[in-house]
Amino acid sequence: MALADIINRIASDASAESEGELAAASARADELLGAAAATAQAHHERAIEAAARDSASQAATIVSSARLAARDRALSAKRELVTSTLSRVVEAIESLPADAYVRFLAAGVAGSVRAGDSVALAAADSEHMAALQAIVTAEAPDVPLLWDAAPARVSRGVVVTGPRTSVEVTPSSVVDERRDDLELAVATRLFSGKER
């Protein structure tokens, strides 16, 4: 065999070997490319799923926040309505006919006085002094009281002052004293049967 035949044989073998290696490398590259594409697709799908979960979670949070804000606004409006109603109760007491208003004050005074206490009326109610004295004296005849001619420091009603205590008997103080029960009664009346 001549040198040229050996070289041709080596070239032919090298060419066949390189074609085989090239085919194997191409197949391996296609395999790797397919695996990379599958991995990329899986990552892409997981990223989309994660984004969808995050979006759903954010949407649920936004809806929940909106519901809470709406509920808070509704509760605030209801609270304002109850407060307004209680203010009108105070105004209604202050607007009672004179004899009913004096009986209202007398009931509060008779329930809170002790012997020796001083009773003072608001300037706006000073015209009721004689009627109030008569009713309180009739309801608590054994409790001597001092009737102060100086006006009490309240806009309406009476202040009963003792050695250690001072009690306001005013439409506002009576409503405030019973505020929890009155708020419940008003809310029940206004909102019964409605969603709270």
Which pLDDT does position 37 carry in this prediction?
86
Maximum pairwise Cα distance, the chain = 151
Which pLDDT does position 139 carry in this prediction?
87
Which pLDDT does position 196 carry in this prediction?
45
Which pLDDT does position 2 carry in this prediction?
78
Give residue-wise pLDDT tens across range 74-127: 889 888 988 999 999 999 999 999 999 999 999 999 888 888 899 999 999 999
129 contacts: CB under 8 Å, gap ≥ 6: 121, 147
Assess whether 52 and 119 both reside in one domain.
no
Q: Do the Cβ atoms of 106 and 132 come closer than 8 Å?
A: yes
57 contacts: CB under 8 Å, gap ≥ 6: none
Low-confidence ranges of the chain (pLDDT < 50): 196
Assess whether 131 and 173 both reside in one domain.
yes
Beta bridge partners of 148: 120
Number of domains in the chain: 2
Strand ranges (E), the chain:
118-122, 146-152, 158-161, 166-169
Range of 6's domain?
Answer: 1-68
Which pLDDT does position 194 carry in this prediction?
56
Which pLDDT does position 59 carry in this prediction?
86
